[in-house]
Amino acid sequence: MEPATNTKLNVRLEHLYHHGARCIALSFENDQVLIACAKAAGAVWSKTHECWYVRNSEAALNAIFISFKGTAWVDMDGLRKPQNRSNTPHAHERSHPAESISRSAPTLPSKPEPVRTITTAVDLPKGYLETLERRRYSENTVRQYCSHFTKFLDHFGGRDPEAITEEEINAYLLYLVNERKVSQSMQNGVINAIKFHYEKVLGQKRKEYWLERPRKERKLPHVASEEEVLRLIGATTNIKHKAIIALLYSTGIRRSELLHLRKSDVNLDRLQVMVKGGKGKKDRYTILSAQLAVALSAYLITFTPNYWMFEGPERSQYSANSVAEIIKKGCKVAGITTRITPHILRHSFATHLMERGTDIRYIQELLGHSNLATTEIYTHVSQKSLAKIINPLDAILGHNQLGTNPLLKPKP
């Protein structure tokens, strides 16, 4: 049975006119987890209006729903009311040309998805959020750590974490596995959030306590065939969508890395793409198809992006959901029934390179893997390596002493 939504955590969205532009104001109680979610959605604090806000756009609205999902209920009633500019703060401000944006409100879903929360508002210990920010953890990591740790504290009734014993911590992890049925990645995320407090915030040594991690799963990545990749690229007539699919496969970059690509990061002359601040905050170069470089030149002329290589409404960053939807629709048009995602295109890039004899260490650099063992998984899905193995059934049938093939029906 689904647990009831906790109405204590509520984020109210309202119209806001700020610095000559339409914005969305986010109103909620002073809670550090909610603040982290707001920042992850791209919101900034306004001293004038004393609230968090984002520019009014469909992409920004989607980012809010994604960021607060599982943490708080997003109330959009305020956005459904027509905005009266005369009643908004600082309505006398005139719009500056550099700040002018579309005057149309974002498209609101007819039935907003209820965002279910499991926890109550529990304050983070002093220094937890500050240490995360000081160490420059990504916004997504900050949001996940804060969410995991507040749920952990809420489970123990908001007790001082220093009073929680090692046995109680491990009992909590057992509860997550047996009762909540969380995934291995979720279990690891909870452990990381707990360890962060004791090791990084309190400065305890690792040997002072011990948390058992789940056994690591070894799942082979799914790979699209070369024919499926070509069919997928050719399934759309939209030059922008075609460029996005082809760039993901041609470079092997992650979806998040694609969204953060700037125009200046793509060197069409040298056929290189610079990935800045990839996973682990590492920069790297990857390769670019010569034929795709020609198509990208045409795309840049047609769409004239301002800053980001791929931009959404109002020159904002392209959304992750839009990229996934492009591939999903492309597969449907192309009649591809196997599952293909942005990350599967990355797997396919690496596997196809390996099948064509590219040195594994080059592939490691292109993918940005710190450990060669991570890249070695593609040796297990490469058809070229499997093709070298003679099947034992073929071997014994080739030296068949019976004179007949037992797989075939005997002739009458």
- Rounded to the nearest 5 degrees, what angle is found at the Cα of 113, between the Cα atoms of 50 and 332? 125
| 101 has a pLDDT exceeding 70 | no
Does a structural domain hold residue 77?
Answer: yes
Which has the higher per-residue pLDDT, 210 or 204?
204
Question: What is the strand order of the sheet 73-75 is part of?
Answer: 44-46, 51-55, 21-27, 10-18, 73-75
Write down the pLDDT at residue 112. 37
User: Which of 20-29, 67-76, 339-348 shows the highest mean pLDDT?
Assistant: 339-348
Could you give the dihedral angle defined by the CA atoms of residues 267, 272, 276 and 279, in that order, rounded to the nearest 10 degrees? 150
Looking at residue 4, its pLDDT comes to: 41
Q: What are the residue numbers of the active site? A: 254, 279, 343, 346, 369, 378
Helix/strand/coil for 267: strand
- Verify that 21 and 79 share a domain, yes or no: yes
Residue 362 confidence (pLDDT) above 50: yes
Mean pLDDT taken over the chain: 80
C-alpha 150/C-alpha 155 separation (Å) is 9
Q: Is residue 176 part of a domain?
A: yes
Q: Which residue has the higher pLDDT, 286 or 134?
A: 286
The more confident residue out of 122 and 184 is: 184
| Tokens encoding 374 | 């991570």
| Alpha-carbon span 284 to 366, nearest angstrom | 7
| Per-residue pLDDT, 72 | 84
pLDDT for 310 equals 95
DSSP state of 74: E
Confidence of residue 57 (pLDDT cuts 50, 70, 90): confident
* pLDDT tens profile 262-319: 999 999 999 999 998 777 678 999 999 999 999 999 999 999 999 999 998 878 889 8
pLDDT of residue 105: 39
Q: What is the CATH number of the domain that holds 134?
A: 1.10.150.130
pLDDT at residue 212 is higher than 90: no
Say if residue 411 is exposed, middle or buried (CB neighbours under 10 Å; 0-12, 13-18, 19+).
exposed
Q: Are residues 245 and 350 in the same domain?
A: yes
399 CB-contact burial (10 Å; exposed 0-12 / middle 13-18 / buried 19+): exposed
Q: Is 224 in contact with 345 (CB distance < 8 Å)?
A: yes
The whole domain housing 366 covers 226-385
> Are 327 and 341 in contact, with CB atoms under 8 Å apart?
yes
Q: Is the pLDDT of residue 356 over 90?
A: no
Q: How many CA atoms lie within 13 A of 322 on its CB side?
A: 18
Q: What is the pLDDT of residues 157-199, one digit of tens each?
A: 888 888 998 889 989 988 998 888 888 888 889 999 999 999 9
pLDDT computed for residue 99 by the predictor: 29
Q: What is the arithmetic mean of pLDDT over 141-151?
A: 88
Largest CA distance in the chain: 97
Q: Do the domain assignments include residue 318?
A: yes
320 and 235 in a single domain? The answer is yes
Give the C-alpha separation, 98 to 241, whole Å. Answer: 28
Do 240 and 380 lie in a common domain?
Answer: yes
Residue at 32 is within a domain: yes
Same-domain pairing of 249 and 338: yes
pLDDT at residue 342 greater than cutoff 80: yes
Shared-domain flag, residues 35 and 176: no
From CA 370, how far away is CA 405, in angstroms rounded?
50
Contact status, residue 33 vs residue 124, Cβ threshold 8 Å: yes
Please indicate, yes or no, if residue 108 is contained in any of the structural domains: no
Write out the DSSP string of 5-39: P-TTSEEEEEEEEETTEEEEEEE--S-HHHHHHHH
**Are 233 and 372 contained in the same domain?**
yes
Q: Are residues 278 and 362 in the same domain?
A: yes
Identify the three-state secondary structure at position 102. Answer: coil
Angstrom distance (rounded) from CA 119 to CA 90: 37
243 and 366 both lie in a single domain: yes
Rounded to whole angstroms, the Cα distance separating 107 from 90 reads: 25
Could you tell me the CATH number of the domain that includes residue 266? 1.10.443.10
197/70 same-domain check:
no
Strands 73-75 and 266-267: unpaired
CB 298 within 8 A of CB 269: no
Stretch (H or E) spanning 300: helix 290-303
Q: Which residue has the higher pLDDT, 335 or 378?
A: 335
105 located within any domain: no
The verdict on pTM exceeding 0.75 is: no
Q: Is residue 123 assigned to a domain?
A: no
| SS3 at position 79 | helix
* Extended strands (E) in 155-214: none
How many angstroms separate the CA atoms of 263 and 231, rounded? Answer: 27
Alpha-carbon dihedral angle through residues 255, 360, 296, 293, given to the nearest 10 degrees: 170
Both 324 and 372 in one domain: the answer is yes
Would you state the pLDDT for residue 21?
A: 74
C-alpha dist (Å) from residue 190 to 81, 177, 218, 385: 40, 11, 20, 38
pLDDT for the residue 96: 32
Least confident of 15-29, 206-220, 236-250: 206-220
**Shared domain check, 380 and 232:** yes
The residue among 21 and 63 whose pLDDT is bigger is 63
What total number of domains does the chain contain? 3
pLDDT at 324: 94
DSSP line for 31-44: -HHHHHHHHHTT-E
pLDDT digits (tens, 9 = 90+) for 227-275: 999 999 999 999 999 999 999 999 999 999 999 999 999 999 999 999 9
In whole angstroms, what is the distance from residue 111 CA to residue 99 CA?
A: 31
With respect to residue 112, please indicate whether it lies within any of the assigned structural domains: no
